[in-house]
Amino acid sequence: AAAPDRATELATVAELCPLGTLDRARLARLRARILFARSRSDEAAPLLLDAAAQFTAAGSPLARETYLEAISATIFAGRVHGPAG
């Protein structure tokens, strides 16, 4: 939690492993969460939406939670970047 650079490195290593559909979705969600935690930028929401779509395709109940995270990230980034954000 306090080492986003290390977490990003570990996610990169995990991508090199053979992963199933659900694990790829989890990894995509993790990367988006790391990005959002680091920068609170508007770049995280599309990544969360992509992860949510992957969860949906896999039939995972994590899809709903990830869609909600994408909405929250969008709202938060909009507030940070002002009315034009």
Non-local (6+) Cβ contacts of 64 within 8 A are none
In this prediction, residues 60-84 reach a mean pLDDT of 82
Query: What phi, psi does 76 have (nearest 5°)?
Result: -65, -45
pTM of this prediction?
0.79
For residues 83 and 65, give the distance between their C-alpha atoms in angstroms, rounded to a whole number: 26
Q: Does the pLDDT of residue 63 top 90, yes or no?
A: yes
Cα gap 32→6, rounded to integer Å: 15
The average pLDDT across 37-52 equals 88
